[in-house]
Amino acid sequence: MLVNRRRQPPRARLGGFTLIELMTTVSVLAVLVALALP
């Protein structure tokens, strides 16, 4: 029961990116590009 309960959260991520994850990914990529281009 406890194992199944701990394996549920990652399963939600497989459904697709959430808005927060998408924004975080874009922000990280923007920072990396800004540091790589100067």
Q: What is the pLDDT along the chain (38 residues), one digit of tens a residue?
A: 455 555 555 555 555 667 788 889 999 999 999 999 87
Q: What pLDDT is stored for residue 30 in this prediction?
A: 94
Instruction: Tell me the C-alpha distance between 21 and 29, whole Å.
Output: 12
Q: What pLDDT is stored for residue 38 in this prediction?
A: 74
SS3 of residue 35 by DSSP: helix
- Domain residue limits at 29: 2-36
Q: How many structural domains compose the chain?
A: 1
Contact 25, 17 (CB under 8 A): yes
Dihedral pair phi/psi, residue 17, rounded to 5°: -70, 140
